[in-house]
Amino acid sequence: MALDLALHIARSGLLASQKALAQASHNIANADTAGYTRKRLDAAAEEIGGHPLGIRTGQALRDVDLALLAERDARAAAAAAAALRERFLTPIEAVHGRPEDAQSLPALVGALRQAFIALRAAPADAGLLDAARSAADRLAARFRETAGAIQEARRQAQAEIVQEVAQINDLLRGVAETTRAIRAERAAGRSAADLEDDRDRLLARLSESLPLRPLRQADGGIVLLARHGLVLPLPDGAEDVLSTAPAETGPTAYHGPGGSLPGVMLGPIDITRQIAGGRLGELIGLRDATLPRMLAELDVAAVELAGRMEAVGLRLFTDGSGAVPDRSLSYLAGGHAGFSLVIQIDPAAPADARWLRDGTHATAGGPGLPIPFTPNPPGGPAGFVTLIDRVLDHALGEEAAPGQPWAPFPTSGLGPDGSLVSSIAGARSIEEFATQAVRLQAEARAEATLQRESAARLRDGLEGRIRAQSGVDPDAEMTLLLRLQNAYAANARVMSTAQAMWDALLAAVR
* Within-domain flag for 463: no
Gap between the Cα atoms of 398 and 71, Å rounded: 51
**Is a pLDDT exceeding 70 seen at residue 296?**
yes
Residue 5: pLDDT band (50, 70, 90) is low
The reply to whether 50 and 74 lie within a common domain is no
* Within-domain flag for 288: yes
Taking residues 442-470, report their average pLDDT.
Answer: 91
Decide: 275 and 257 in contact? Cβ < 8 Å.
Answer: no
Q: What are the pLDDT digits (tens) for 401-444?
A: 999 999 999 999 999 999 999 999 999 999 999 999 999 998 99
**Looking at residue 252, what is its pLDDT?**
96
**Looking at residue 61, what is its pLDDT?**
74
End-to-end CA distance of the chain: 23
The reply to whether 48 and 76 lie within a common domain is no
**Looking at residue 470, what is its pLDDT?**
72
The reply to whether 74 and 53 lie within a common domain is no
**Is a pLDDT exceeding 70 seen at residue 275?**
yes
The reply to whether 425 and 325 lie within a common domain is yes
Decide: 242 and 130 in contact? Cβ < 8 Å.
Answer: no
Q: What are the pLDDT digits (tens) for 33-75?
A: 777 877 677 655 555 555 565 556 667 777 888 899 999 999 9
Taking residues 377-392, report their average pLDDT.
Answer: 96
**Is a pLDDT exceeding 60 seen at residue 350?**
yes
The reply to whether 51 and 120 lie within a common domain is no
- pTM here is 0.88
Identify which has the larger pLDDT, 368 or 336: 336
Domain count along the chain: 2
**Is a pLDDT exceeding 70 seen at residue 11?**
no
Query: What's the distance, CA 2 to chain centroid?
Result: 70
The reply to whether 193 and 168 lie within a common domain is yes
Decide: 343 and 352 in contact? Cβ < 8 Å.
Answer: no
**Looking at residue 3, what is its pLDDT?**
54
- Sorted by sequence, the CB contacts under 8 Å of residue 41 that are 6+ apart come out as 16, 19, 20, 23, 57, 58, 59, 60, 61
The reply to whether 111 and 128 lie within a common domain is yes
Average pLDDT along the chain: 89
**Looking at residue 46, what is its pLDDT?**
59
* Within-domain flag for 485: yes
**Looking at residue 228, what is its pLDDT?**
82
The reply to whether 275 and 319 lie within a common domain is yes
* Within-domain flag for 498: yes
The reply to whether 8 and 117 lie within a common domain is no
Q: Sign of dihedral through CA atoms 276, 259, 239, 157?
A: negative
The reply to whether 195 and 172 lie within a common domain is yes
The reply to whether 133 and 79 lie within a common domain is yes
Q: What are the pLDDT digits (tens) for 14-26?
A: 566 666 566 667 6
* Within-domain flag for 148: yes
pLDDT > 70 fraction of the chain, expressed in percent and rounded: 84
- The domain in which residue 195 lies consists of 70-457
The reply to whether 13 and 93 lie within a common domain is no
**Looking at residue 191, what is its pLDDT?**
86
* Within-domain flag for 337: yes
Taking residues 479-488, report their average pLDDT.
Answer: 61
**Is a pLDDT exceeding 90 seen at residue 481?**
no
Residue 168: pLDDT band (50, 70, 90) is very high
* Within-domain flag for 82: yes
